[in-house]
Amino acid sequence: MGASVSTVYYNLRLRHPTLDMPLIDYDLALIFQPMLMLGISIGVICNVMFADWMVTVLLIILFVGNNYLTTLLTSWRFKLIRN
The predicted-structure confidence for 68-78, as pLDDT tens digits, reads as follows: 999 988 888 87
Q: In this structure, are residues 46 and 62 in contact, taking their beta carbons and an 8 Å threshold?
A: no
Alpha-carbon Rg for the chain, nearest whole angstrom, is: 19
For residue 53, what pLDDT is reported? 95
Check whether 1 has a pLDDT greater than 80: no
Amino acid residing at 33: Q
Q: What percent of the chain has pLDDT over 90?
A: 49
The average pLDDT across 29-57 equals: 93
The average pLDDT across 33-59 equals: 93
Amino acid residing at 16: H
Class of residue 1 by CB neighbours under 10 A (exposed 0-12, middle 13-18, buried 19+): exposed
For residue 41, what pLDDT is reported? 96
